[in-house]
Structure 1
Amino acid sequence: MEETAAAPDRGHSIVYAPRIQDLLSREEKVFRIDATTVGVSRSDLISEVVAARPVLSTERSVYKPAAGAEIPHDSATRTIRALGQDVMEGIRTPPPPARGLNGAWPYAATSYLRQWLFASDPLPVSLLSKRGITRSPALSRIVDRAVTVWPEPGGAGRGRTALAEQIRSASGAQERGQAIAMYRRATATLCDGVAALTGNALWLMGPDGRARGAARGDLPAVLWETLRLLPPAWMLYRTGGDAYAGLHPEIRREDNVALFPLLMHRHSDYWPEPMDFRPERWAGVPDPEKTPAYMPFGFDGARCWAKHLVVPLAERLLTVALDNRLAVRVPKQETHVPLRSLLSVRFDAESGA
């Protein structure tokens, strides 16, 4: 079982993994993590690091090379458009029964979103987005081979998602292999990220019905504040090189650089009452992403490819949870945040509808 360390957060007890807790306890904004990694949470230096060079394909979770080749730009663009089409279609359709949100979060929410958005895809394509499949390299290879001989004859079929159609219309083994990889990565990244954000928001809103009622007045503000205090994308990693040497005395040519929105968003130099969950701080802010020292989806040139989908879909999922009186069930109001690529609280939930 993973070790944890306790840390307070808005009256709740959040138990962070020790390495995250160690980061949160640091006062310096530029610090050495180990012999080859420097951590940065200073706003101006983060901007300089991001602007120093374009993000590499190997530094992107979705667009890293697949099927033995780089992902072409036009293929990446088609994937973004297809996923956006599928999300917008999903938001317009009735959600699945709320009982699908019962159980351990964020996993229950991830499965719920995949059912909501991608259940129309035929087997074996829909298996590409199943958590039990994606966690097993052996099962993933079997499903990949099965998808290789799909689809059924004929043109585009009704019911399948635009993302699945990318696989069906691919020509050649490499393009098809990349389309399969992009389907798996895109669905996982979107659903996991939205589930984490929604779960973090539910936790920060608290169990009090009156507090939830007040927060419901502006759910986007709730989500922007959640992205500040508990951002799922809590760290960005950059491979070292000449581009970063000279930006700061602590950063050497051979050093990798870890950027920490989680820390920057909690600095009192940048935020009044930084540890307080205050959605009202976003009232009247026309474009939250232009707020100084705020990096919910990265900076220009390296922003999350699905940022325009995350908040609307999380708002829809949060609305379903609140409409069905989803109750957070944890002992003594304590939740855990393990060391994972996505920062997400862990709790059990039960629908009251």
Structure 2
Amino acid sequence: MATATTRSRSVVYAPRIRELLDRDEKVFRIDPSKVGVSDSRLMAEVVAARPVLSTERSVYKPAAGADIPHDSATRTIRALGQDAMAGVRKPPPPARGLSGPWPYAGTSYLRRWLFAADPLPVSLLSKRGITRSDTLSRLVDRTVTVWPGSAGHEGRTELATLIRGADDPLERRQAVAMYRRATATLCDGVAALTGNALWLLGPGRARPEDRANLTTVLWETLRLLPPAWMLYRNGGEAYTGLHPEIRPGDDVALFPLLMHRHPDYWPDPLDFRPERWDGVADPEKTPAFMPFGFDGARCWAKHLIVPLAERLLTVALDNRLTVHSPQQQAHVPLRSLLSVRFEARVGA
């Protein structure tokens, strides 16, 4: 399962990912306390065994020493959706911003497109140069908590409005954390998906049939190179008895990346074939396909990811964004989001 046909391009996975791709079994022990699962039926049973915990969610895990209230989470989801849809209705930034190392160039471009109108220092919350430094992140967080910007700032996003409208310091600190997490999760995920699609399309650029329906390109990318390639569940009694390999206390790692490439579920599983999604009304109902998780534990931003990626991919193709280096082979490091790394240039 390790090598995919990607229109004359290939990828080199991190060693730990290669080890997973080389496995034949669908349920396997990773280490003494972890079990890996790529069996479609068992994955569904694991997810259905109990509700997902707040600590297992990247966005809604506790912040500022307290759990995120349900109504606060709901407001964040609603605000992010409004901001994303309002942002992409604006003209995109200059295409030269897409040049550089991907997926980072795509992430920075999206942040300028969707959140550049926010006042300082709110706009610094999602800057890559800031987020890479724990010291700078803490400094910016404290600054925004005290001074979230002027009340009359025109064009402020709904997420930034939630920060300014917080009633007390704890609520504001949590709003700051939610802004950072929500914008990062959205922009990083969309950029990773778009970059993976650009790589899979190959050096010949998109064929006419691909350009006519970029949505199918993105669904096939989500199958072959899903950014959300692993879901992790902390161990507990809920999983005891689901499978002999899962012992009490074992943590469980679910691998859509493996399931999406298994010949038991997919014909020609390693071939990049967007046409396999032609006429599929609801791809998420396809058996053995889990790009955003199962019912009850789906990604909270799933309704935004594909439309935004299609918009970003359209801008990239319209401006002739091409892979500069490497030409034929790229690396996929061991990160929470699976994304191909490459250099790209506009109009090259």
Scaled to the shorter chain, the TM-score interval is over 0.9
Partners of 1:255 and 1:165 lie apart in 2 by 42
Is the contact made by 1:7 and 1:21 (CA closer than 8 Å) also made in structure 2? no
The runs of 5 or more residues in structure 1 that have no matched partner are 1-5
Q: Which of 71, 75, 93 is the equivalent residue of 2:72?
A: 75
Partners of 2:55 and 2:161 lie apart in 1 by 26
Aligned letter for 2:303? H
Q: Which secondary structure state, in structure 1, belongs to the residue aligned with residue 109 of structure 2? A: helix
Q: Taking structure 1 as reference, are residues 332 and 311 closer, same or farther at Cα in structure 2, changes over 3 Å only?
A: closer
Is the contact made by 1:234 and 1:343 (CA closer than 8 Å) also made in structure 2? yes
- The residue correspondences of 1:42-121 to structure 2 (distance < 5 A) are 42-121=39-118
- The residue correspondences of 1:296-307 to structure 2 (distance < 5 A) are 296-307=291-302
Identity of aligned residues (%): 77
Q: Which secondary structure state, in structure 2, belongs to the residue aligned with residue 243 of structure 1? A: helix
Shift of 1:207: 1.2
Shift of 1:252: 0.5
Q: Which secondary structure state, in structure 2, belongs to the residue aligned with residue 44 of structure 1? A: helix
Q: TM-score normalised to the size of structure 1? A: 0.96
- What residue is the counterpart of 2:286 in the other structure? 291
Is the contact made by 2:119 and 2:153 (CA closer than 8 Å) also made in structure 1? no
Partners of 1:206 and 1:61 lie apart in 2 by 32
Partners of 2:142 and 2:297 lie apart in 1 by 33
Q: Which secondary structure state, in structure 1, belongs to the residue aligned with residue 238 of structure 2? A: coil
- What residue is the counterpart of 1:174 in the other structure? 170
The runs of 5 or more residues in structure 2 that have no matched partner are none
Q: Which secondary structure state, in structure 1, belongs to the residue aligned with residue 198 of structure 2? A: helix
Tell me whether 1:327 sits opposite 2:322 in the alignment.
Answer: yes
Tell me whether 1:232 sits opposite 2:227 in the alignment.
Answer: yes
Aligned letter for 2:31? D
- What residue is the counterpart of 2:14 in the other structure? 17
Aligned letter for 1:76? A
Aligned letter for 1:251? I
Partners of 2:98 and 2:148 lie apart in 1 by 31
Shift of 1:8: 4.7
- What residue is the counterpart of 2:183 in the other structure? 187
Partners of 1:172 and 1:352 lie apart in 2 by 49
Partners of 1:228 and 1:177 lie apart in 2 by 37
Shift of 1:205: 0.7
Is the contact made by 2:46 and 2:242 (CA closer than 8 Å) also made in structure 1? yes
Partners of 1:329 and 1:24 lie apart in 2 by 28
Cα deviations by residue, 1:115-168 (Å, 9 ceiling, x for unpaired): 1111000000000010111111100111011101223454x6421101100100
- What residue is the counterpart of 1:203 in the other structure? 199
Shift of 1:91: 1.3
- What residue is the counterpart of 1:312 in the other structure? 307
Tell me whether 1:244 sits opposite 2:239 in the alignment.
Answer: yes
Extract structure 1 runs of 4+ deviating beyond 4 A.
none
Is the contact made by 1:7 and 1:16 (CA closer than 8 Å) also made in structure 2? no
Tell me whether 1:337 sits opposite 2:328 in the alignment.
Answer: no
Tell me whether 1:263 sits opposite 2:258 in the alignment.
Answer: yes
